[in-house]
Amino acid sequence: MKESRKERMVRFGILAVVISFTIYLFTVQFSMFQQASPTEDNATDIPFLVEVLQEKDENHANPIISMVREAENKPVLISYEIKIENNFQFSTINAIELQENPTRLLADESEGVWLGMDDDWTLFTEELEIVTNSKNVPEQKEQNYEMVVEETESYFLMKIMKDGELLFQKNFQEQPLSIKRLSITEDLWLVIFNNDVTVLFS
């Protein structure tokens, strides 16, 4: 059956409306996606913080650490047990979402961790249960070693010094920011980068 000119115009009109509505929906969806997506600036507001709660010793086969990092554009406090016999697997003990960005993370003598938010401090156990709150800055554990980083044309040379003596050194492609001891025998270390960590044998 031959289509009349009027029917053809109606069909083209309906097709134009459908195409216009489809473009409108796509535009709205794209606009909503742009508004909902986290910006790079917001993501970088969340600090990457790491502390060692328990070193490997005669009573503890594996070290335990706490970490603040970004997850889905939100700050999360996580505690890990590093399974030495299981290829240094980071086994999650617990994780909690934080309501605001912390400023500092400090290990406590009780094998817990202090989380600082401006002038408020909260002490957590390694299972991330709240122990107490304080307005006073907790006393920080002293380190008897220091890290020196030398930049070359092709890598960063990290040197770990103790009492003026070189304990060990290691080359990295990315600049190490700090280092934490994972064992009292000083043969296991946690090297901290901008947004990652690595376990290192010395």
For 127-168, write each residue's pLDDT tens digit. 999 999 999 988 887 788 999 999 999 999 999 999 999 999
126 touches 114 (CB < 8 A):
no
pLDDT score of 30 more than 60: no
Exposure letters 146-182 (e unless 16+ CB within 10 A, then b):
ebeeeeeeeeeebebeeeeeeeeebeeeeebeebbbb
pLDDT score of 11 more than 90: no
- Residue 16 confidence (pLDDT): 52
Q: Rounded to 5 degrees, what angle do the CA atoms 177, 106, 140 make?
A: 100
- Residue 44 confidence (pLDDT): 54
Q: Where are the domains of the chain?
A: 7-37, 40-140, 142-202
What is the CATH topology of the domain spanning 40-140?
A: Lipocalin (2.40.128)
pLDDT score of 106 more than 90: yes
Residue 17, classified by CB atoms within 10 Å of its CB into exposed (0-12), middle (13-18) or buried (19+), is exposed
pTM of the model: 0.75
Sign of CA dihedral 22, 25, 29, 34: positive
Q: What is the DSSP letter of 86?
A: G
C-alpha to C-alpha distance for 150 and 111, rounded to whole angstroms: 33
For 71-82, write each residue's pLDDT tens digit. 999 999 999 999
The pLDDT-based confidence of 21 (bands split at 50, 70, 90) is very low
For 172-185, write each residue's pLDDT tens digit. 999 999 999 999 99
119 touches 103 (CB < 8 A):
no
